A and B are shown apart, each in its own frame.
Chain A
Amino acid sequence: MIDKVEQDIISFFEGDLPKEQEDVFRQNPSEEVRLLFQQYEALYADLGNQEIVSPSENLKKNFHQFLENEKQRVIPSQESRIRRLKSNNFLYTAAAIGLLVIGMCVGLIIAKNASIQGMNNELAELRAGMNELLRDKSTSVRIKAVSMSYEIEQPDEEIIKALTNTMNNDDSQNVRLAAVNALGKFAQEESVKQELISSLESQKNSFIQIKIIHILSNIKAREALPIFDKIIKQEDALQFVKDEAIEGKSIISSI
C-alpha cells in the first residue's frame, strides 16, 4: 500500500498528478505518508536548486579562436582556388608549397617528440607525488591524492596497487569511495577489473559494494556474476545491495 502511495508521490512531483493532490498527501491521516511526502519535497527542492557551474574564460576564447581559424581557412581557400585555376604557374607554385609544408611537418614532429618525452617525465613525478599523499594523515589530502589519478592517461601497476589498497584499507569511507571511482575509470583494464571483483567479494561497506557492482555491470564483467550470485544469496547482505546485484546481473546477462 505504501509502495503505491510512494509511486503517486513521485508522480505528483514529476507533474503527472494535479496540484490538488498535494493536500491529500500533506494532510494524510498516516504519519508515514506525510513524512514520505516531506522527504520527497526536500529532495525535489534540492534537485531543482543545483548549481550551474561556469567554465573558465579559456573555453570561450579557444572556441572563438577555432572559429576564426576556420574562417581564415575557408574563405581564402575559396579565393585562391579560383586564382590557381587561372594561373599558368599553378603546377610550379603547388610543388613549392608542397615542399615547404613537408619541411614544416618534419620540424613539428621532431619538436613534438621531444616535448612528449618531457611530459612523460613530469607524469612520472605526478605518480610519485600521489603515492606520498595517499599515506597522509589528513582525509582531505588523501582524497586529493586519489583525484590526481584522473589526470593519468594509463595507470601503471604501482598506481593500481595504491588505489586498490586505498579502496580496501583506508580508514575513511569517503576516501575508499573516491578510490573506487578512480579505479572505475580504468575498469576496462583486466588487472583493475580483477581487483574490483576481489574487493567486492570481501567488502563489508554497502555503499562501496553498490559502487563496485555498478562499475562491473557497466563494463559487463561476466566474471563477476558468481560474486553477484553470492551477494544475492547472502543472508546478512542488506536488501538494497541485493537489489543492485540482481539488476547488475540482468545488465551483464543482457545482449
Chain B
Amino acid sequence: MAEGQLDKMSVLFDKYHLNVFNFYLQRGHSRVLCEDLTQDVFERILRYRASYKSSLPFRAWLFRISRNVEADIFKKKKIKISEDTTVDELELLTENVLTEIEKKEEVTKLKQALSYLSTEEQELLHFSKFQNMKYADISKILNISESSVKVKIHRAIKKLRVNYQKIEVL
C-alpha cells in the first residue's frame, strides 16, 4: 500500500474506532480486550481492503469484519500477551480490570434489561439504536432479509420492555 493510502487508513480509524470499540464493549468484553479486538479489525481492513465492494455500505462491511474478528479470537481462545510483558505490567493489567469492574457496578436498568436478551437480539438493538443503522444496512451485516431485521427488532423491543418492568431496583 502506498504511503498516501496508509494515511487514508488513519482517517478511517479516527472516524470509526469508537463505533467498533463500543460494539465490542456492549458484547461484555473487558476494555483491554475491546481495544485489542478494535486494533485487529483495522489491521484486517488494511490487509483485505481489496475485497471491499463499494455496493456494500462501509459500516456494514466494518461490522461484518468486527463480528468475524471476535469469532476468530474465541475460536482460537487466545489472549494476546506481549512477549515483553513483565510481572509489573501484569499487575497493572489486573488493576485495570478491577477498576473497570468497579465502573461496571453502576449497571443501568437498561443495560441489565438488555443483558437478558439473546446475543442476536442485543446485537440487533445495538446496531439499530446505538449505531443508528437502517434495517437495510443491518440486513447486510447479518445476511438476513430486511423484513427479518424489522420483525426481530420489534420482537426484541417488546421483550426489552417486559424485562425493563420486571427488574427490581436493588
Residues on A facing B (Cβ under 8 Å): 6-7, 10-11, 13-14, 39-40, 43, 46-48, 50, 52-56, 58-60, 62-64, 66-67, 70-71, 74-75, 108, 111-112, 115-116, 118-119, 122, 126, 140, 143-144, 147-148, 150-151, 153-154, 174, 177, 181, 185, 207, 210-211, 214, 217-218, 240
Contacts and interface: CB of A to CB of B under 8 A. Distances in A.
B87 A118 contact: yes
B39 to A, nearest CB: 6
Contact of A115 (B22, B84, B98): B84
B7 to A, nearest CB: 8
B38 to A, nearest CB: 6
A115 B9 CA distance: 33
Given A153-B79, A154-B77, A207 B34 contact: no
Contacts of B94: 126, 148, 151
B39 A62 contact: yes
A56 B119 contact: no
Given A43-B161, A153-B77, A218-B119, A50 B129 contact: yes
A80 B41 CA distance: 30
A147 B161 contact: no
B104 interface: yes
A43 B118 contact: no
Interface stretch (B55-63, B139-147, B150-158): B150-158
A11 to B, nearest CB: 8
Given A122-B87, A151-B97, A55 B31 contact: yes
Contact of B118 (A50, A143, A147, A217): A217
B163 to A, nearest CB: 8
Contacts of A181: 28, 115
30 contacts: A7-B154, A10-B158, A13-B157, A14-B154, A14-B157, A43-B161, A46-B108, A47-B130, A50-B129, A50-B130, A53-B22, A54-B18, A54-B21, A55-B17, A55-B34, A55-B38, A56-B35, A59-B17, A59-B39, A112-B83, A115-B85, A118-B87, A119-B90, A122-B87, A151-B93, A153-B77, A181-B28, A181-B115, A211-B116, A214-B119
Given A54-B21, A240-B159, 4 more contacts: A13-B157, A50-B129, A59-B39, A143-B105
Contacts of A177: 115
A147 B104 contact: yes
Contacts of B110: 43, 46-47, 50
